[in-house]
Structure 1
Amino acid sequence: MDATGNILAIDIGGSHIKGTILDPQGHQQTEYKKFVTPPQVTSGGVLDIVRQIAKDMPPYEKVSVGFPGYVRNGIVFTAPNLFTEHWKEIPLGQRIADALRTPVRLVNDADQLGLGVVSGKGFELAVTLGTGFGTAVVIDGYLLPHLELAHHPISKGRDYDAYIGAAALEEAGKKKWNKRMEKVFKVLKTVFNYDRLYVGGGNVDKLKLPVEPNIHRFSNLDGIKGGAKLWLLEDRYHITTNYPS
C-alpha cells in the first residue's frame, strides 16, 4: 500500500483502544486492531497498546488520536473514565509522536467522531452515548474548543455522565433512561439552538425516542472519517500537531 497521505486513526476509549488505516479521504483501508483498555491505565500503558496497534500496519504518514477526556494542544488534562489521577497535564500527543516517529494530532474522542459525521454546514452538535457522554461542537466544519459538558450538572447534583452514562443506563433500565434522554435533548436544543444534532456511541441503539427531523443517528463506523478530517483543519484553538522530538 502506498503511504501517500495515509493516516493511522486511533480511538482510545474507556473499554477498548482500537486503530485502523485511513486514506486521505477517510476511507478505511484495514480492519480495526482492538485491545481491551486496562483498568486505571496510565499513559505508559496506553503507549504500549498504541505501539501494538501500529506494529505491522501498512505504511502511514500521520496519526490521529481520539482521547476520552479534556485535551488541549496535545496535552491531556482530565480523563474521568480512565482514572483521572493518572492524567494530569500529560503530553500524550508528543509521547505518541515520539513513540511512532510520526506527526500526531490528538483531540477529544467525541470531537474526532463528530468531525466524521457532521455535514460541515452551519452550527452542528454531535454527542456520544457510551461509558460517558461525549460532545463535539462544530461550525461550518470547524471544531470549536472542546466543552466537557459531561461534567455539568443536569439533575439533582448529577452530571451528564452520572445521569445518562453506561452505569446509569444499567441501574435505571432502558425505559427510565429514555425518559432522561428526552430531558437531555430538550436541554441541548435550548442551550445550543443547533442546526443539526448527531447522536451516536455504543448505547445509541437503546434510544427509543421519536426525534425531530434535524436529529440524526450515527455509528462509530460513520465517524471514522473524523481521523482524516482532523488533518484538513488549520492549527487553531486546540488542534495542534505534535512532531517527533
Structure 2
Amino acid sequence: MSLLTLAIDVGASSIKAILLHQNGTLASSRSQIATPHPATPDVAIAALCDLIDTMGHYDRISIGFPSVVERGVTRGAINLHPAWDGFDLGQTLRAKLAKPIRIANDADVQGYGAIAGQGVELVITLGTGFGSALFLNGALLPNLELGQHIWRDRHTYEDCLGQPALDQVGFDLWLDRLCQAIASLYKLFNFDKLYIGGGNARLLSTSDLNLAPNLLPKVAIVSNDLGLLGGLALWHDAQNFL
C-alpha cells in the first residue's frame, strides 16, 4: 500500500496542505487557511493542527517552513514572529501528532519540486519575503538565505523584492528590480537554470522579463503548488531532515 504524505507549506500569509501518494499523484484536494497574526509558535501551531485534523488519514508529514531549519529547529522566520528563532518545531509536532515528520526551508521544498537535477539550479521565491535555494546536480546546498544579503543601496533582496516593496513602488518598478536582480544573480552563480516561484510568481510571465537574450531561456516561472509537491523529496533525499 502506498504511503500517504501530508505535505504542508507554511507561509506568512497562508498555510496550505495536500495529501500525496508516493508516486507524486494527488490523494486529496488542496486545503488552505490564513496564517494567524501575530504568528507566534503557540498560535500558529494550533492553527496548523486544526488544518491537519481536517485532512484525514496520512502516514507521514513534510513541512516547508519560511526560515532556515536545522534538524527541526527553526532559525529566524522573520516574517512570522521573533519567537520562532531557535524553536524546536520538529519535536513539538512529533509530540502532538505522533507521526514521522520532516521539515525544511520552504524555498528548498519548492526547489525540490521544480528542479531537473542537472547542473547549477537556483530557486527564488517571491512572496511576503524573498526565499532562495541552490542545487548542484540535484543535491541541495542548504541554509542559503539570499534574501538577507545586501544587494543595493544597503538594502537586501528581500527589502527590494518582498511584498512590502511591491506595495510601495508598484508592479513596474518592482519588475524592473526583479530583472536587475536576476542579472546580478546570474553573474554570481552562473546558474544553468533559475526557477521563480512563490505566491507572487503568479503576477509574472516570461514575456514580462527584460533580460539578455542568452539569459532569458535559463529562467522559468513555476507554480507555487510545487511548495507542496516538493515535500515528497524530503523522504527521498539523502540528507537528514527531521
TM over 0.5: yes
> How many residues matched?
235
Equivalence for 1:225: 229
CA–CA distance in structure 1, aligned partners of residues 138 and 3 of structure 2 = 20
Q: Secondary structure at the match of 2:99?
A: coil
> Which residue identity lines up with residue 64 of structure 1 in the other structure?
S
- How far residue 59 of structure 1 moved from its aligned partner, in angstroms, is 2.1
Q: Distance in 2 between matches of 1:178 and 1:189?
A: 17
Residue by residue, what CA displacement relative to the aligned partner does 1:101-130 show, whole Å, maximum 9, x if unpaired?
Answer: 111111111111110010111211111111
Does structure 2 conserve the Cα–Cα contact (< 8 Å) formed by 1:9 and 1:64? yes
The farther-off stretch of 192-201 and 41-50 is: 41-50
State the alpha-carbon separation in 1 of the partners of residues 110 and 221 from structure 2.
Answer: 12
Q: Which amino acid aligns with 1:166?
A: Q
**How far off its partner does 1:56 sit?**
4.0
Contact 2:5 2:58 in 1 (8 A): yes
1:118 to 112, 115, 119: 115
How many angstroms apart in 2 are the aligned matches of 1:145 and 1:136? 7
Aligned pairs (5 A) from 1:77-96: 77-83=75-81, 85-96=82-93
Which secondary structure does the structure 2 equivalent of 1:143 belong to? strand
TM-score (norm 1): 0.91
| Structure 1 residues 222 and 77, CA gap change in structure 2 (3 angstroms) | closer
The alignment partner of 2:113 has SS state of: helix
Q: 1:72 to 1:124 in 2, by over 3 A?
A: same
CA distance in 2, matches of 1:167, 1:220: 19
1:97-156 per-residue CA deviation (whole Å, 9 max, x = no partner) reads 221111111111111111001011121111111111111111222211121111111111
- Asked if 1 retains the 8 angstrom alpha-carbon contact of 2:9 and 2:228, the reply is no
User: How far apart in 2 are the matches of 1:41 and 1:35?
Assistant: 13
Does the 8 Å contact 1:125/1:137 carry over to 2? yes
Aligned twin of 1:21: 19
CA distance in 1, matches of 2:135, 2:23: 19
- What TM-score do the two structures reach when normalised by structure 2? 0.92
What is the aligned-residue RMSD (CA, Å)?
1.5
SS in 2 for 1:213: helix
Q: Give unpaired runs (5+ residues) of structure 1.
A: none
> Could you list the runs of 5+ residues in structure 2 that have no partner in the other structure?
none
- Alignment correspondent of 1:213: 217
Q: Distance between the aligned counterparts of 2:202 and 2:42, measured in 1?
A: 34
Which contiguous aligned blocks of 4+ residues in structure 1 show a shift greater than 6 angstroms? Answer: none
